[in-house]
Structure 1
């Protein structure tokens, strides 16, 4: 039996046969019982969830010779005629191929006439979101003043593409994906009726692949039954759908975990020779690592892992990864899956993705170093204490500058430096304040999220320091970043870190950009007009700068040397 025949034979002909949409069926039946049938319905939901089928069953229910009835008899001439498509007053239109204004005008002209064979004229417009703007306007006129004998049923997978004026004139029903358990029950029923032998694991696997679409599940069932001579096993289902077997999953995951590219590449080649498509392999790998992650984070939950046969082996593989590694691996696979859609060499891109996983799959730094959680907490406390001491010392240094310069009438140019020895020039904020609402600033803000993501790909530690910042203004090829934490600002300004950020910014913005940093409090003060819009990170008068001749350094610089060491504290003219 062909797929079309099999699907038609198992396509629900009555409301009670619908799978997974009981909430919608009950609402429609109550409306029929109370004779409050609407003139227009909007059925929205994923493909294969029963939108068009429900529309036809509704058309039979309101026109049944023994009704209107909450269940069509499915035996009278009207019900049979609607099922077979012989009733001219029940019209099904595919908007994907009949999307113009002429088709809708034709409907508008014909709705005025009473039905010739049944009670209601029913127009079922499938994929209604494909209609043109002019066609929607023509349809709107009909929906605003519909004749009493007409019912419109609009079906779509993308309701956001419909005009609000159309949606507001329809009763909207959202069809949900059919659950795996409901699909397995229906597939098992079909197998018993059709004399097909199938294991529960195979039916669960088919149901998961259909992604909640009953129609797709029946299609895969029939395809697998033909391949396996009506004896469906999990291995047969995996082979016919292009999936990766559990053993191949394990070998790939093991090679990635061991960072063994030499073993992984032959595995990919074997998959390609076996007829597996790169996009299907990528999709299956995402599912596989998703299941590993679920088992890792919710070991006591009812995580759906029907794709895996040997659960003990699967749990052992899950224990080899940290959640952070699995999150990152899924992100990488998802990124390359999108790239795969337009790739000229899909196999090569799959191999690149897996090589990227090998380089990313590294042991947790804390575990590798053998550091306990208590030690990590203690280190964090020490870092916070050092940050506060540095901030205090810097404030004392700035405050000491005027005192040291008393009695000295000569005003030498001020010098500016940071604790890590970075020569930081003055930042005049007036032009950044003026550019706050400018087009360049708005464009930079829209791209900042992408810049952060690419910086993370280049070097995650740079993005970690940069996360404390906020892009507030952009002008004349410069990006102004504000920081709450001085140390995060210092680390961001390191030459190697700055170079990465500026390179990524140039790539994303398609023009070179330099980053400029200020503290958040200084920026806020500039916005409020409480300062002269000129900020320096740390200013010293000449008397505070150590002399080349070996004069004694100020006490606060000596304290900084004790804290960080001479190699990290550099005073620059």
Structure 2
């Protein structure tokens, strides 16, 4: 028989086999025993936490003729066929590839027929958040009035994408991330059962890298076994997961805590050259700092559980004040956020290392008192006195030069005026060109698909366009009004975002306009000036004033003896064509 991955071989076949989800499994077992099962369930939680396994076990337990205490026997024909995926009454559907209305309608039609072999017909819909809006609407009626002996089990990793109307018609079970210790115990059980040797510290390394997912842990264990020839060692686990060795972390943090910038940067270079990814490096160092803090406050909870208790680690924990560790964690967290959207993570790591090493200077309390003895450090006291004297001198200087702050304040308007001169330049002529050819149909078309367009953009592009709105459209261009000037300036100079808008609009409505970016504050004046210029360009036209009242555009036409009705009607028709009859009101005074 061909080799099977560990996560397939050791897939849970009973509720008791599911690790770390006691509350969920006990509730489902009790419901089966008491015959109080629902017609629809929603299983949510991170990947690899047992959602699909629990759904298949539930399907077996509720249909098993030999069920005992809510558990399937796994010996009868029905249990075996469900395990092998051959029972026609248990249907597994991947919503990622079957997310259309027609597929759900097909399910709804077939659900009306009674089960042929088992007592209940079970539909397991995996990654249900991938269904389209139409598909959810098609599923809604079936969940509201389900056929007899039919149960739906919906599984997802992103419950926030599921309509509330669907969630309210299901029993929701949240699968939590599996604890590190639970993963380690399960991995140890598998290795002992397979008669394989292992080092306990290696299992902790694998469990941490799995981030609460049992399937990920089993996949990493599979790699480690292949790499280490049927014995899981710590060194091999570190190689497979890309984690840092404890010696490397000891050396790096020691350099940072001692303020040795050069040593810290050299250690960082060695770590990165060994192939460690920036994100993995930061995760390991953050966990190391967390362990330092825990060892200081509750050493018994940490010893023997993580494998990080080296002599250097103990020395660092004794010599470092908690405030200094808090600072390390804050700097590392900030660096972790900064590298998420960059292709030059090494730069941020190097800057972060310098901050870590120099941070000791800003926490005087860390060096003034020895954490181990509580006695004052003479050198630190001397440094404190020098700093206090320097601060006193600066205060005296400020008192003597009391006019300096006022002078600085006086310069502020000048700086503000300079900033205003450098503000964004609005492309007035391009906007007027769009307004000359603008039609209501083009604007409505873009507005109707605007939300769909945003979902097709990248995360960064979507964030920029969230603060914008299409306000005018012609056959060749659209005008976007942005809430913030800085975002408007960035979008107008970003060729990629303009190309993305054109490409995605062409897919949605076969319309690929160029983009003109303006600020929302400038839009009323641009529109008013354009209409005024058009009025002035005609010999006999009414005076037209453009006002905004609660988002609606009101055109107030003032009659005069010289104006004839034909000219007035032409201006009104132009306004209706440009902005739409729904938002234009003509008032004759």
Same fold (TM over 0.5): yes
User: Is residue 366–residue 372 contact of structure 1 (8 Å, CA) maintained in 2?
Assistant: no
1:339 and 2:338 correspond: yes
| Contact 2:78 2:118 (C-alpha < 8 Å) held by counterparts | yes
Q: CA deviation at 1:153?
A: 0.7
Q: Which secondary structure state, in structure 2, belongs to the residue aligned with residue 338 of structure 1? A: helix
Give the corresponding residue for 2:251.
251
Structure 2: gaps of 5 or more residues: 370-374, 385-400, 411-518, 522-589
User: What SS class does the counterpart of residue 361 from structure 2 fall into?
Assistant: coil
Matches within 5 A, 1:92-491: 92-296=92-296, 298-300=297-299, 302-303=301-302, 306-362=305-361, 364-366=363-365, 368=367, 422-423=405-406
Question: Deviations 1:355-399 (Å, cap 9, x if unpaired)?
Answer: 2222323363245567979xx9xx9xxxxxxxxxxxxxxxxxxxx
Shift of residue 68 of structure 1? Answer: 8.6
Q: CA RMSD in A?
A: 3.4
Task: Using the TM superposition, name which of 184-193 and 66-75 deviates more.
Answer: 66-75
Counterpart Cα distance in 2 of 1:47 and 1:420: 63
**Distance of aligned partners of 1:4 and 1:337 in 2 relative to their CA distance in 1, 3 Å threshold:** farther
Q: Is the 8 A contact 1:256 1:358 kept in 2?
A: yes
The structure-2 alpha-carbon separation of the partners of 1:355 and 1:86, relative to structure 1 and needing over 3 Å to count, comes to same
Q: Is the 8 A contact 1:49 1:177 kept in 2?
A: yes
Distance 1:67 1:305 in 2: 40
The Cα of 1:150 is off from its aligned counterpart by 0.8
Residue by residue over 1:180-216, the C-alpha shift from the partner in whole angstroms, topping out at 9 and shown as x without a partner, is 3322221111102222211222222222222222111
Deviations 1:507-544 (A, max 9, x none): xx9x9xxxxxxxxxxxxxxxxxxxxxxxxxxxxxxxxx
CA contact (8 A) 1:322 1:364 kept: no
Aligned residues: 390
**Aligned counterparts of 2:53 and 2:338: Cα–Cα separation in 1:** 36
Distance 1:7 1:160, change over 3 A: same
Whole-Å Cα distance in 2 between the matches of residues 367 and 18 of structure 1? 46
SS in structure 2 at match of 1:316:
helix
**In structure 2, distance between residues paired with 1:271 and 1:100:** 48
> Secondary structure of the equivalent of 1:122?
strand
- Give the 3-state SS of the residue equivalent to 2:73 in structure 1: coil
- Displacement of 1:49: 1.1
- Preserved CA contact (<8 Å) 1:62 1:69: no
| Deviation of 1:102 (Å) | 2.3
Residue matched to 1:45: 45
CA distance in 1, matches of 2:152, 2:161: 18
Q: TM-score, normalised by structure 2?
A: 0.61
Residues in 1 aligned to 2:360 and 2:99: alpha-carbon distance in whole angstroms: 50
Match of 1:384 in 2: none
Gap change, CA 1:366 and 1:74, over 3 Å in 2: closer
Q: Contact 1:29–1:70 (CA<8 Å) still a contact in 2? A: yes
Q: In structure 1, list runs of 5 or more residues that go unmatched.
A: 380-417, 427-508, 512-573
Q: Distance in 2 between matches of 1:105 and 1:175?
A: 29
Cα 1:178/1:304, change in 2 over 3 Å: farther
What's the offset of the Cα at 1:320?
A: 3.5
Aligned positions of 1:20-35 closer than 5 A: 20-35=20-35
Distance 1:46 1:220 in 2: 17
For each residue in 1:317-353, what CA deviation from the matched residue of structure 2 results, as whole angstroms up to 9, or x when unmatched?
1233332222222222222223323322233332222
